[in-house]
Amino acid sequence: MYTIVDIETTGNGIKGNKITEISIFKYDGYEIIDEFTSLVNPECEIPYFITGLTGIDNDLVRDAPKLMEIADQILEITKDTIFVAHSVNFDYNVIKNELKTLGLDFTRKKLCTVRLSRKLIPGYNSYSLGKLCSVLGIPLTDRHRARGDAHATTILFQKLLRIEGAEPVFKTFLNARSQETTLPPALPKHVYDDLPATPGIYYFKNAKGKIIYVGKAINIKKRVLSHFYDKATKEIEMCKETADIDYELSGSDLVALLMESAAIKHHFPEYNRSQKRNVQRYGIFSYEDRNGVMHLAFNKIKMAPRPFAIFYTITDCRLYLEEICKAFSLCAKYCHLQENVDSCSHYRIKQCEGICRGNESPKSYNKKVEQAIHSIKDKSDHLIIQEKGRTPSESAFVFIRDGIYAGYGFIEKEIQINKFEDLETFIIRQKNTLETERIIQSFVARNPHKPRQFSKVMDFEHY
């Protein structure tokens, strides 16, 4: 048993969307056996552009029943049926969310006539309800009104049921593991099935092949699927447009982040948040107190005099300073990792030699601070960050030249790297940007042992 459903709404995404009209046809596979159609008072203003599209205005629904008054009828007519709609996830999720606000659970098996049509009658440029009705000779009256669209969808559904070879397709679509009702209407299932469960970046493309979103993931397939379950308005609109997905493997999260940043700045996809946003920066600086002890401290960049290291989160500043403290036996108190204490007692930093307890002279301590500052400022050497490759037979690397991000690359493990010229041919050159600086510095703050100096001659150690 099926219920073919169409709704009209106030057009505010999913969570903010309110039903203004609903029509449900109960169909046994041969004929319509019941119908429920009603205007609905959304208890909010209907936007002008929605009225222009549907003809439903505030006056029309003023005396209509509220959803809570017809909820039982919706639940009853759809009980023990398969929920069918054109782009089913929209109608289903709006109804489910609206009923949830009333404390009512709504769970039904689903079928999408868009996806079924793409599978059973392939080859059309558009699978909108209007275009399908036109080419298949289905009468469609009262377009963009719930009853007119629901009735046309019922006739379309009947035609799909009668197509030769439809039965196994319907069974596949109703299989809970098939994910057919979860995927965007325009996305072929084989495209999703072919996605890898490995690190990399992925591109959502519309029907014209234009990239509309770039994302990165440790597990591409799992991350892509999460977009389809997301009920945020932006995600729903993006998924409705998605007709293809492409990807590039990275081997690691760090390389994926850098690849994603470069792809966003190259393509400027409409559904990505712009990386032009203002990013708060924090600087590490030094000063000498009245007792002649040198401090290392951090603050917002505007409040940090002559900073010699810049980070993009307070956490990264603290993590980096913790490593400096450990490496040069500095004091957590005088590095401002502990405040308002007489002497340091940091749970991770135990290397303090007693400046805070009077057991070390300011002269001796300051010498260590100067060495630490010198090590931070010294960016003359090339640095390599090695990561896992895209396959077991290769390694990935990120190259930093004189403190500036220069690019990344991949090298087969059988290739020996002994000098910079050997490495240079494998570097995929990239621009250094505010975003790449943030990505690399955040990574280094959390993985201070990863960057290694690339001197004139060295052995490239593969994972």
> Which among 237, 267, 297 is the end of a domain?
267
Which of the given ranges, 78-82, 264-268, 433-437, has the highest pLDDT on average? Answer: 78-82
Whether residue 331 is contained in a domain is answered as: yes
Do 30 and 126 sit in the same domain of this protein? Answer: yes
Whether residue 183 is contained in a domain is answered as: no
Averaged over 92-102, what is the pLDDT?
92
> Which among 243, 267, 291 is the end of a domain?
267
Question: How many domains in the chain?
Answer: 4
Do 255 and 299 sit in the same domain of this protein? Answer: no
Whether residue 243 is contained in a domain is answered as: yes
pLDDT at 381: 60
Whether residue 184 is contained in a domain is answered as: no
Do 234 and 306 sit in the same domain of this protein? Answer: no
Do 64 and 110 sit in the same domain of this protein? Answer: yes
Do 121 and 153 sit in the same domain of this protein? Answer: yes
> Which among 352, 377, 402 is the end of a domain?
377
Do 62 and 205 sit in the same domain of this protein? Answer: no
pLDDT at 14 exceeding the cut of 70? no
Do 99 and 243 sit in the same domain of this protein? Answer: no
pLDDT at 314 exceeding the cut of 50? yes
CATH number at residue 116: 3.30.420.10
pLDDT at 462: 54
CATH number at residue 225: 3.40.1440.10
Which residue in the block uniquely carries the two structure tokens 């009077």? 358
Q: Characterize the bridge pairing of strands 82-85 and 109-112.
A: parallel
Do 44 and 130 sit in the same domain of this protein? Answer: yes
pLDDT at 230: 79
Do 24 and 122 sit in the same domain of this protein? Answer: yes
pLDDT at 181: 75
Do 152 and 43 sit in the same domain of this protein? Answer: yes
> For 406-427, how does the pLDDT look when each residue is reduced to its tens digit (9 = 90+)?
999 999 988 887 777 778 889 9
Q: Which domain holds residue 211?
A: 189-267
pLDDT at 278: 59
> To 10 degrees, what angle do helices 146-162 and 113-120 make?
30
> For 345-366, how does the pLDDT look when each residue is reduced to its tens digit (9 = 90+)?
888 888 999 999 999 999 999 9
> How is residue 171 written in tokens?
């069974």
Whether residue 461 is contained in a domain is answered as: no
Whether residue 272 is contained in a domain is answered as: no
Confidence tier at 305 by pLDDT (50, 70, 90): confident
Whether residue 224 is contained in a domain is answered as: yes
Average pLDDT over the chain, rounded to an integer:
89
Q: What predicted TM-score, i.e. pTM, was given to this entire model?
A: 0.66
pLDDT at 235: 86
Whether residue 277 is contained in a domain is answered as: no
> For 184-241, how does the pLDDT look when each residue is reduced to its tens digit (9 = 90+)?
888 988 999 999 999 999 999 998 999 999 999 999 999 999 998 877 778 888 998 9
Do 17 and 122 sit in the same domain of this protein? Answer: yes
Contact 377, 308 (CB under 8 A): yes
Do 131 and 196 sit in the same domain of this protein? Answer: no
